[in-house]
Each structure stands twice: as structure tokens, then as C-alpha cells.
Amino acid sequence: MTTSEFTYGGQVIEFFKHDEKEFSELLDQKISRYNDNSEGLYFKEPAANIDWVRNKPINTALLELQEEWRKGYTLISSQYHTLDFRAQLRKPDKVIKSELRTLTEQVRADYERSRYERNVSETHRQVEITLSIKRRKEEAKAAAGLAAALAALQEDEEAALADLRRAYAEPACSQ
């Protein structure tokens, strides 16, 4: 099985299959974050809203803001302090739909990459478990062989000792 740049079945086993529920939850989180945040000085990721700031007199700032309204942006909130006009604008629906498509593709790619990395890690873990089991079996087999060799050696020693007892147990001939 292959998915775009990630190949399964050779060096990597697909332990973690694609889970649509998991993907949907991740996508919902990203979409929620997209809708709640504003692009601006502090948040650089795409968002449905933008922070629009002008350090100009209010009449000049409002003239520039009209241009944004013509482009389809809508005003959510605004504040004005001396030579500091701040507004939060919502992007036009066409832009939001386009960015959401891009966001969905990005989330799908990130999910597939994350899933592949988990599968790589799990494949390595399973290989280590298999090798560990094999080593333990070989060690047990070697230990059993060593025990058998020691038992045979002990039997040989006992037989030699028994031969010596028999040989020296007979009384010596006197002349």
C-alpha cells in the first residue's frame, strides 16, 4: 500500500490504519482555530480574520478601510486611540473557502506524515521485540545445552570416581 510519498509493506508496516474519525477531529480543531484567530502581528498562520492596523488620523484610516470593504472584507470590531486605528476584519467568503481547502489539504498531509512516523516507530519497536524474543530463545537453548554438557561431565567424573573406588577398594596382595 502506498500513499503519495509514504510507502508501506516494505521497510514499514502499516500498524496504524487511516482513521477517518481521528482525521476529522484534527481537521475540526484546525478549522476551529482558523475561524477563531486573526492574522496579524502575533498570529502568522492563516485565519478567517485579520488584524488591520493604521497609525493615521481616523479620517485617513476610514478612507483606507473603505477599500477593504469594497474587496469584500467585513468589520467585526474596531478601536481608535490617538493616531492608532485598529480593526478586526473578516475575510470574504470566497477567500475563506479557498483557504479552508488549502488547510484541509495541509491537515491531510500532516496527518499522513504523522501516521507514517508512528508506523515507522511501531515497526522498529516490533522488530526489537521479535529480536529480543529470538535472543531469549537462543540464550535458553544455549543454557540448556550448557546444562546438559555440565551434567554429562559430572556423570563422567562420577563414573571415573566409581572406577577409582573399585580399583582401590580391593585389598592389596601381601607377599
Note the pLDDT of residue 3. 47
Mean predicted confidence (pLDDT) in 86-90: 93
- Identify the residue whose cell numbers are 512516523: 117
pTM over 0.85: no
Q: State the CB neighbour count (10 A cutoff) for residue 134.
A: 10
Q: What is the pLDDT of residues 36-71, one digit of tens each?
A: 988 887 778 889 999 999 998 988 999 999 999 999
Note the pLDDT of residue 143. 92
pLDDT of 29 strictly over 60: yes
Which residue type is seen at 126?
A: Q
List CB contacts of 30: < 8 A, sequence separation 6 or more: 103, 107
Q: What is the pLDDT of residues 91-130, one digit of tens each?
A: 999 999 999 999 999 999 999 999 999 999 999 999 999 9
Mean predicted confidence (pLDDT) in 130-156: 93
Note the pLDDT of residue 171. 65
Note the pLDDT of residue 174. 59
Burial profile 43-69: b = 16 or more Cβ within 10 angstroms, e = fewer: eeebbbbbbbebeeeeeebeeebeebe
Mean predicted confidence (pLDDT) in 124-140: 95
